[in-house]
Structure 1
């Protein structure tokens, strides 16, 4: 098992990509902390994982954009599991609108979750990892929008580009402590977040939902296929299980080309 005896904190892990990463890490021997805004959902996911997880999992409530909740959550991780080896900063939302009509409050909320959340969880993780002196891995959930842009997604594209910059800084600062930082950049994954976007984009662009999928979401893939949650989880496992600083400060696109 590639993550035997490791402790991994995954944010936004009660559903979707985060849940699949948590499941994969548990299968590979990690004790997984399911952090989510919805505590009931986090605990339900932990119970599900505990049916097969060797080290067990547990859920905590965490609004990643709330400093006090992040600090309290990290304290609970350490008190319960004893240490922290892996952080997956995965929590995120999406809001669709033309830039000239974008609500400022929605802009700030999206950036707070994606960027403030990444900063706050990273800072808490680094403090713990530095104290331990045993290194660690920080993985950010970017997007193909970390590399390019799409219509109607200004704050999301901005935030996902920002995560690459943050990871590069963490890679440099964390190197002497054995802490690595990398970014996964998935293509479109058929999660509730993406399913919600399809009719929204169809309405804004005046085209059918089928055209949104074929001509916007999947038009640049090699085979017209969505990326799967398991594809992304395997990339996370690769980053988490890579033990040297030879792989840090990098971004990996997982998108069917």
Structure 2
């Protein structure tokens, strides 16, 4: 099965697409013939990526301003994406942020900021897209970007781990509720990949120690997310919902 071919003509909205995994997924979708809307807060980066996508042949790629923590912004973004793309087939909830430090050293504001983007933002986007699909009677797919830290913990990232555990349960709960409307909700749980959010970490002593705890003894390459993403973002996964797919080099099966 050619998973990439299953994206041809598919209308996809990707949040947090100004850098990292979101930008990578946008390039992947465009390369495989999808009609792509990318959304984030950093408008300059979005415009640069749209230019790149159009130069590569995705002439109808568009960018949309979005703050996933703001309900009005979410509603506007979904509406504008539907109008510009002529509908919506797949929502990719990728926007996220992290914070470092022991939980007792975090302020309430730190905690609220992470949960607002990583969990509340996913909720707002998924429910708004779900309402659109229910009201129009059209099928839809949601791909949430969770994390292995939603399935196990590490020191110094409590708000992030808590938020991603919430995304895991949100994925399962919404999958259960929305299946009757032909709306599928799945998640990818990446392990450790080098992105802007952890830039420089794996060169530190702590980062090197982390790598030694991964059975494959390395971080993932972005391209190693492509097949799971293409599966969940397309109708190739038409009988999958509520699935959490780890891509982690064996991190979750290591007992350390």
The two structures have a TM-score, normalised by structure 2, of: 0.91
Shift of 1:42: 1.1
State the Cα RMSD in Å.
1.6
State the partner residue of 1:213. Answer: 207
Query: Are 2:25 and 1:25 equivalent residues in the alignment?
Result: no
Helix, strand or coil: the match of 1:87?
Answer: strand
SS at structure 2 position matched to 1:50: helix
Q: Which residue of 1 aligns with 2:254?
A: none
| Aligned CA distance change for structure 1 residues 177 and 244 (closer, same or farther; 3 Å) | farther
What's 1:254 paired with? 247
1:102-151 deviation line (CA, Å, top 9, x unaligned): 11101100000001100110111111222332311101111110110000
Of the candidates 182, 195, 204, which is equivalent to residue 191 of structure 1? 195
1:223: which partner in 2? 216
Q: How does 1:113-132 map to 2 (within 5 A)?
A: 113-132=117-136
* 3-state SS in 1 of match to 2:142: strand
Give how far 1:55 is off.
5.6
Task: For 1:38 and 1:152, locate their aligned partners in 2 and report how far apart those are by CA, in whole Å.
Answer: 27
CA contact (8 A) 1:29 1:55 kept: no
Task: Give the whole-Å Cα distance in 2 for the aligned partners of 1:244 and 1:184.
Answer: 13
CA deviation profile, 1:51-85 (whole Å, cap 9, x unmatched): 22446210011000000111111111112111011
CA distance in 2, matches of 1:132, 1:224: 47
What is the aligned counterpart of 1:62 among 43, 59, 66? 66
Alignment gaps of 5+ in structure 2: 251-256
- 8 A Cα contact 1:175 1:245, kept in partner: no
1:142 aligns with 2:179: no
Correspondence 1:233 to 2:237: no
For the Cα contact (< 8 Å) 1:93–1:113, is it kept in 2?
Answer: yes
Counterpart pick for 2:97 among 84, 93, 100: 93
Residue 204 of structure 1 is matched in structure 2 by none
Tell me, yes or no, if structure 1 residue 79 matches structure 2 residue 83: yes
Alpha-carbon distance in structure 2 between the residues aligned to 1:179 and 1:53 = 30
Specify which of 152, 155, 166 is matched with residue 159 of structure 2: 155
The whole-number CA distance in structure 2 between the counterparts of 1:19 and 1:131 is 30
Question: Contact 1:190 / 1:227 at 8 angstroms: preserved in 2?
Answer: yes
Dislocated runs of 4+, deviation >3 Å: 242-245
- Name the residue aligned to 1:34: 38
- Unaligned runs of 5+ residues in structure 1 are 200-208
CA distance in 2, matches of 1:101, 1:225: 30
Residues in 2 aligned to 1:230 and 1:19: alpha-carbon distance in whole angstroms: 12
Measured after TM superposition, the shift of residue 245 of structure 1 is 4.7
Map Cα deviations across residues 222-251 of structure 1 (whole Å, 9 max, x no partner).
321111222223321111124455211010
